[in-house]
Amino acid sequence: MAVPGRKPKPPLQVVREGNPGHRPVREGAKLPPSELIEPPWTAFFPDIKPGRKPRAPRGADEEQLREYQDEVAAWMRLKLAAEAAEAGRTAAAREWSRVVPQLVVGAGLGAVDRSVIVDYCVCVARLEWCEYRLSVEGLITMGQRGPCRNPLTTVASQYRTQLKAYIGELGLSPSARGRIPPPEGGDDDDDSGVFD
């Protein structure tokens, strides 16, 4: 029922998915392929020097022992961070050299895509480290209230979700490659040597 002085509401519009009008779809922007420069991985995985493990004080009282335990815990965290950073640099560099040459030729990866591929390599490196630590520590750890799930399982799950997004964006799986058109001039008879 219409109320005097008020505008009637417009009828609901139906939103359709796909391309019901069968209009031509643009392929997207074409970028010239370029040589991507590998970043210094120390910017993401710094070279950390944990130093020597603190020495236990002799004849210490209870407060000095607590301070020593805190120092050892801080040193252990720093040592673990140093190991993670070293492993991350190695894994990110390995992933860069494995993936970037194929993507430059096969998908036309350009200079504007550098931050995406760098983030992908960092994601792979961090996920590898999480999986390694889960293998060393186990899926169940001791928490304040007893046995609980290792917090690294949550971190690994989040990195795995992000990795799936990169795989789709960069065409790093068989189904994702089928959705990415090859760059201009990339015919099957090309002897570029990337897939040799």
What span, in angstroms and rounded, lies between the C-alpha atoms of 125 and 69? 31
101 three-state secondary structure? helix
* pTM of this structure: 0.73
Contact 81, 44 (CB under 8 A): no
pLDDT in tens, the chain (196 residues): 566 777 766 665 555 555 556 666 555 556 666 778 999 999 999 999 999 999 888 887 888 889 999 999 999 999 999 999 999 999 999 999 999 998 888 777 888 889 999 999 999 999 999 999 999 999 998 888 889 999 999 999 999 999 999 999 888 888 887 777 666 655 555 555 444 4
